[in-house]
Structure 1
Amino acid sequence: MSPAHVIEPTYEAIKRRLMHGHWPPGTRLEAARIADLLHVSITPVRDSLYRLTGERMVDFTHGEGFHAPRMTESDLRGMLELHLVLMLAALATQVRDSITPVGRLDKGSDGFGLLFLAIARRSGNAELASCIAGLGDRLHIARLADTEILGDTADEHGALEAAYSKNATHPEVRALLLHYHERRAQEAAAYIRHITA
């Protein structure tokens, strides 16, 4: 196992590249090449790839090695459905009168991802928040295509963040979450075309 001061930056660098589609779906992830790219030894790369396999961010097949994950329309719809179920569970179990601040939105940051994580953390259930964060990381590559597929989503994001920030009623936030997920599930084919292009 690699020391933490090497493994964590290596893991984060590989994960970030996966989340942003640096490697097309199905691309073989060769540890030696990634090590050269990141200027580290092969050991922290392998350790990171195994960890990312456990998080379902990387596919691994014995005899074939590591690959950037492939995603089908059915996979995307399934992930969106599970994400909605988890978000509704977080909403239903939220700690009243406590608002977890939404992370700072910088250029290139995932506004919806930060908002969903804030809602998840408000539930007070660390396991639920961890599941939502992990699934959100896997969905990030699809969210990158939001503007191209759906157009400007700023109003949608603003409405959801405003409802969350003002401690809106459960049905109001629930309706916004349903709308968010349904819009993307209906366009799953377009998202997959974009991801695999």
Structure 2
Amino acid sequence: MNAGTTAERVYDSLKRTLANGSFAPGARLEPARLAQELSSSATPIRDALNRLAGERLIEMRPSDGFHIPRLNEIGLRDLYRWNEVLARTALRMSRKSEPTGGHHIAPIDAADLFGFIAASSGSGEIVSQVASANARLAYVRHVESSIIEDTADEIGDIATAFWQRSISTRMLIQQYHKSRLAIVPTIIELIFQDTQTIR
């Protein structure tokens, strides 16, 4: 396997892991451990971590290595609002054809839902930004599910409205984000408790 192939494999694997919400905000990423887990040398791991830092999915702290970005109330509110802006922009740009090629696939989670909406825009930049927001919100969404009941129904309702090209789609997306903005302090508190337990 050549260095280019290894670097891409490592990058893709780390990005998938981040998108799954496997690391809590503030968690330190150990290159040596990641190298062992991914059967790689340290160089592709460090290259991938630097690339992910450039995408703001992780951060590099001087003298303290790579970490998952910490979240506070202001930052999480900004991230939710950004996710809503992206979804609403994708909706405005959405093509009039069937977004899933003619058949409806129920989204498994919020990341799938917003990914489908982004894809319907026909904009690679929107798709990329939504994927980044999804990765940054992945851990938060695990926490959300312990607070908000019936998230699957909520996502299903938005998906149905979207596929039917209903004018209610925009309102449902707004309600989705409004309900989360209302519980930001609780989410941050639970994340803090999680990170204290991990330590």
Q: Which residue number corresponds to residue 176 of structure 2?
A: 180
Alignment partner of 1:194 out of 148, 173, 190: 190
Structure 1 residue 20, shift from structure 2 partner: 4.0
Matches within 5 A, 1:15-94: 15-94=15-94
The Cα offsets for residues 8-49 of structure 1, whole Å up to 9 and x where unpaired, read as 332233233334444443233221222122221111110110
Contact 1:103 1:114 in 2 (8 A): no
SS state at 2:174 partner: helix
1-side partners of 2:158 and 2:21: how far apart?
A: 26
Please, what TM-score do these two structures have when normalized by structure 2? 0.85
Matches within 5 A, 1:99-118: 99-100=99-100, 111-118=109-116
**TM-aligned CA distance change 1:13 to 1:118, over 3 Å:** same
* Correspondence 1:151 to 2:152: no
Task: Say what the alpha-carbon RMSD is for the aligned residues.
Answer: 2.2
Q: Any stretches of 5+ residues in structure 1 without a counterpart?
A: none
One-letter code of the match for 1:12? Answer: D
Contact 2:77 2:184 in 1 (8 A): yes
The Cα offsets for residues 27-85 of structure 1, whole Å up to 9 and x where unpaired, read as 33221222122221111110110111011111112333211211111111100001111
Runs of 4+ in 1 over 4 A off after TM superposition: 101-105
2-side partners of 1:78 and 1:110: how far apart?
A: 25
1-side partners of 2:4 and 2:187: how far apart?
A: 36
1-side partners of 2:47 and 2:163: how far apart?
A: 39
Contact 1:73 1:189 in 2 (8 A): yes
The Cα offsets for residues 122-150 of structure 1, whole Å up to 9 and x where unpaired, read as 11222122111111111111111232010
1-side partners of 2:158 and 2:100: how far apart?
A: 14
One-letter code of the match for 2:81? Answer: E
* Percent of residue pairs identical: 35
Q: Which residue number corresponds to residue 197 of structure 2?
A: none
Alignment partner of 2:164 out of 142, 163, 166: 166
SS state at 1:149 partner: coil
Q: Report which stretch shifted further, 182-191 or 18-27.
A: 18-27
**TM-aligned CA distance change 1:130 to 1:77, over 3 Å:** same
Residues matched between the structures, number? 191
